[in-house]
Structure formats: C-alpha cells, structure tokens
Amino acid sequence: MAAGARPAGAVDEASAAQAVRRMFDSIAPRYDLLNHLLSANVDRLWWRRTARRFRDVLARPDSAILDVCCGTGDLTLALLKLRPRGARPILAVDFAHSMLQRAAGKFAARSAASGRDAHKAAAPTAIPIEADALHLPLRNAALDLVVTSFGFRNLANYGAGLAEFHRVLKPGGQLGILEFSEPEGFFGVAYGLYFHRLLPAIGRAICGKDGPYNYLPSSVGDFPPPAEMLPLLRTAGFVECAWQPYTFGIAGLYTAVRPS
C-alpha cells in the first residue's frame, strides 16, 4: 500500500512535499478553470454535498472548523454557506502560497459582498493559514470538524496526516476526507480512458506543462482504495469509519469520528 504521495523524482517525504507544493504553486492561476472544466462542474456538487453531510456541526456558531489543504478555497466557501451569521471563522490551511492567496481573495470578496447589512451579526468568514497539514499550528483537541477535499491524496505520509487530524480534533470531533477514487465495471473502463488519457492531454494544453496533469491520474491510481483507507483510519484511532461514493465512485467521502 502507498504510504504517501510520491510525485515523479521525489525520493523521500521531504522532497515529495516540496514537489507537491511547487506543483500547486505553479498551476494556481489555472487551477479553478481546469478543475471546473475537467470535472464538468461536478466538483461544485461534491463540495456542496460534503458540506451538507456536516450541516449539524456547521450550524453551531461556536464550532471550531478546519478545511485543510484548502487550495483556492472552494470547499471552505461551501462550508461557509451553512454557517450562521456571527459564527466562528473557519480555518483554511494550505502550504502552497499561490493557492492560498486565491482562497484569501475569495474569502475577502465574500465578506465584502455579505457584510453590507450593518443591522445583522457579521457574515461568517474564513481565516487563511499557510501551514503544512502534517504539522498544523493548532493545539491538541481544538477542533470539532476537520475536512479536506482532494488534498489528502497529496500528503507525503497518509498515516502521519491522519495522526495529525486525530491530534487536533476534540474527542467526538468529526473528520471528512473527500477524495477521488477509481470506479469499477464498464463505467470504470470508460472513465479510466478519459482520466488516464484525455485529461492529461487537456490539462497539458491549458496549463502549458506536462507534470501536474500526469501526476493527477497517477496519484489517484496510487491512492489506497476504500478497502485499505478504512483500516488506515481505524489504525489512526478513528471510529465510525465509512466511505460514501459520489458520482458512480469517481470520488467519495470518508467520514470518521475521534472517539469520546
């Protein structure tokens, strides 16, 4: 089983993390466009569906929430839509500066657009934090919810990532990991052709580089399937571990709880 992401040329965890950070910094200007195009906008549905899964914790104004590997912030925005006015800000962590800068711009634009009514409590917002998901600048047992979308697969060490999420969650806190997966059957074959052949070619044409959109299908191929991820979550100390496939299993949401 893959212990963590290994982009081409990476020889250890440090060089893998550096290669991932550089790659996302380099594609940041085209990331949103390519994401929406290559997923035919289904990514937006997945973020909304993930947010709805945690609507109870999002609805509590004092919940402490982290979107880790937030990238350009679209999952954070979907989470914010389910936060009440006056709620604590969501923490949004990423280690790629250019990705996080875009997220910060979106959070600021949202606050500017929704903060005009002076009679109401402040619109919920998010705080961008440049940090490594494997070394979060947060105290133990600080959070009610940790979520991540399409970032976990890129961590240089999956076990260390889960241990860090477990550390920062309160007992009873919830974890959500939205990730790609490889569907099975006839649909899986057709999708595999698109994902492994067509997608890298489109990505290359738009972003003008080879690496990132070759890395995407290979990193999904190397990522542990649900039958391996669920035991990994249990080994890290989580309970109530489950996987919910989205869109015929192209993606899926892992959910788990730090025991009380």
Ligand X SMILES: C[S@@+](CC[C@H](N)C(=O)[O-])C[C@H]1O[C@@H](n2cnc3c(N)ncnc32)[C@H](O)[C@@H]1O
Interacting residue ranges for ligand X, rule: CB under 6 A: 17, 20-21, 24, 35, 69-71, 74-75, 93-96, 99, 132-134, 149-151, 154-155
- Pick 22 or 85: Cβ nearer ligand X: 22
Minimum distance from CB of 170 to ligand X (Å)? 21
**Bridge-based pairing state of the strands 239-246 and 169-180:** unpaired
Minimum distance from CB of 242 to ligand X (Å)? 20
- Is 67:133 a contact under the CB 8 Å cutoff? no
- Pick 154 or 181: Cβ nearer ligand X: 154
Q: What distance in Å separates the CA atoms of residue 144 and residue 138, rounded to the nearest whole number?
A: 13
The sheet carrying 126-130 orders its strands as: 126-130, 90-94, 65-68, 143-149, 169-180, 251-257, 239-246
**What does the block give as tokens for 185?**
């059957």
Q: What distance in Å separates the CA atoms of residue 186 and residue 15, rounded to the nearest whole number?
A: 37
Minimum distance from CB of 86 to ligand X (Å)? 26
- Distance linking the first and last C-alpha atoms of the chain: 29
Any idea what DSSP says for residue 194?
Answer: I
Any idea what DSSP says for residue 115?
Answer: -
CA 16 and chain centroid, separation = 18
Minimum distance from CB of 204 to ligand X (Å)? 17
CB-closest chain residue to ligand X: 71
Minimum distance from CB of 133 to ligand X (Å)? 4
Minimum distance from CB of 148 to ligand X (Å)? 7
Partnered with residue 175 across adjacent β-strands are 146, 256
User: What is the SS3 assignment for 135?
Assistant: coil
Minimum distance from CB of 14 to ligand X (Å)? 11
Using alpha carbons, select from 47, 36, 40 the residue that is nearest to residue 81: 47
